[in-house]
Amino acid sequence: MKKQIKKRKTWKSKLNKKELKHLKEMGITNKASWLRNLEHQKRLRDSGGVEPCWDCRFIAEKLGMEDLI
pLDDT 10s digits, 6-64: 666 788 888 899 999 999 999 998 889 989 998 888 888 888 777 778 898 899 898 88
Q: What is the pTM of this model?
A: 0.74
Domain of residue 38, residue span: 14-68
32 is a domain residue: yes
53 is a domain residue: yes
How far, in Å, CA of 26 to CA of 42, rounded? 16
How far, in Å, CA of 41 to CA of 21, rounded? 19
52 is a domain residue: yes
45 is a domain residue: yes
How far, in Å, CA of 6 to CA of 36, rounded? 29
Total count of domains within the chain: 1
36 is a domain residue: yes
62 is a domain residue: yes
**In this structure, are residues 31 and 44 in contact, taking their beta carbons and an 8 Å threshold?**
no
40 is a domain residue: yes
Which letter does DSSP use for residue 15 in this model?
S
